[in-house]
Amino acid sequence: MNAEQIDAARCEALELIAAAGCDAVLEELRVRFLGRKGMLPEMMKGLKDVPAPARGAAGKAANAFREELTAALAQRRQELSSPAAAAGAEFDASLPGRWRAAGMLHPVSRVIADAVAIFSRMGFVAAEGPDIETAWHNFEALNTPAYHPSLDDTDTFWLADGHLLRTQTSPVQIRVMEKQAPPIRIVTPGRCYRRDTTDATHSANFHQIEGLYVDRNVTLADLKGTLAFFAREMMGPGVKVRFRPHFFPFTEPSVECDFSCHVCGGKGCRVCKNSGWIEIAGAGMVDPRVFEKVGYNPDEWDGYAFGMGVERIAMIKYGVPDIRALYENDVRFLHAF
């Protein structure tokens, strides 16, 4: 075998090595060309038959073949061991595509979507606002006095510039009223922040959905009808609603709204602590002083507002015993939904 033949074999070997797609193929090529009975050892044995004038060139070509082939095998083996190559090796274009199961909505996202859809059927429009708020929008405009405990550092996440992480989505209502003349009918789903100690029913990071309706001749009966419709649509047609007197700085009169327990039908169980009722929302007629702060004439306009915790509804509706399960991102838990 002369130098030209060795060079042709070298080109063929290098092409095959470059095209090798896995270590097993590389090993086959190594044995084929460099193994004890491979092409190169046979070439070396045949050098004795090469005429003396050409023997030196052939021997030099054979040695160069060995070195280049060994280097090419090592380089290709290193390329195949890289993460990118490993990922590509798993792909076979001849195979049919893999079916990927559709994802599922998180329980919190599902409750928000369902609530917005329910309220939209009553004419409410979803509105959003910033998570970082001013004290004016979060407290002052909502008729919260400066001495109220919710302004304490132990309750609210205050920032160095005097802003804060909103403790409720009510500031969105203030922002909408500042920019828009009545009538207004909005719901404001969003994330809220309070310095609560995390336990089975509390979290420093949670979601609320609040509603505001401002128009002429709005009454507490309108509020009751709205929440009763929402209760039936969200929890089922047999759910009842009751109102209890309460106090909130931004509504007067104020009420707490309870839904009859959908688990026991109001008979009493572990979920409702044997009372037959589950506290869902705080609500009431908008305090006239709130209207004055946003430039509305309280003698002309009436309105009601309500707010409820999204996680609380999700826990009750889906039977989640611990609020922390909603944030641990355990795929086994999420697959249940």
Q: What is the pLDDT along the chain (337 residues), one digit of tens a residue?
A: 566 777 777 788 888 888 887 888 888 888 888 887 778 777 777 777 777 777 777 777 778 878 888 888 888 888 877 665 555 555 567 777 777 777 778 899 999 999 999 999 999 999 999 999 999 999 999 999 989 989 998 999 999 999 999 999 999 999 999 999 999 999 999 999 999 888 877 788 999 999 999 999 999 999 999 999 999 999 888 888 899 999 999 999 999 999 888 777 778 877 677 888 888 899 999 999 999 999 999 999 999 999 999 998 988 888 787 888 888 888 888 877 7
Q: Which of 27, 59, 89 is the last residue of a domain?
A: 89
Same domain, 73 and 131: no
* Residues 112 and 61 placed together within one structural domain of the fold: no
Alpha-carbon distance 310 to 287, whole Å?
Answer: 24
Assess whether 157 and 15 both reside in one domain: no
Give the whole-angstrom CA distance, residue 2 versus residue 5.
6
Beta bridge partners of 190: 208
Question: How far does the chain reach from its first CA to its final CA, in angstroms?
Answer: 72
Do residues 211 and 250 share a domain? yes
Q: Are residues 213 and 74 in the same domain?
A: no
Q: Do the domain assignments include residue 100? A: no
Residue 223: which domain range?
A: 108-334
Domain containing residue 206: CATH number: 3.30.930.10
Residues 6+ apart with CB under 8 A from 117: none
* Distance between CA atoms of residues 173 and 287, nearest Å: 13
Specify if 95 maps to a domain: no
Q: Are residues 214 and 127 in the same domain?
A: yes
Same-domain status, 186 and 62: no
Q: Amino acid identity of 143?
A: N
**Is 164 found in the same domain as 74?**
no
Total structural domains within the chain: 2
Distance CA 184, CA 176 (A): 8
Rounded distance, CA 211 to CA 299, Å?
A: 21
**DSSP three-state, residue 289:** helix
127 in any annotated domain = yes
Domain boundary among 35, 58, 89: 89
Residues contacting residue 143 through CB under 8 Å, at least 6 positions apart: 249, 250, 287, 289, 290, 293
Q: Cα 17 from chain centroid?
A: 45
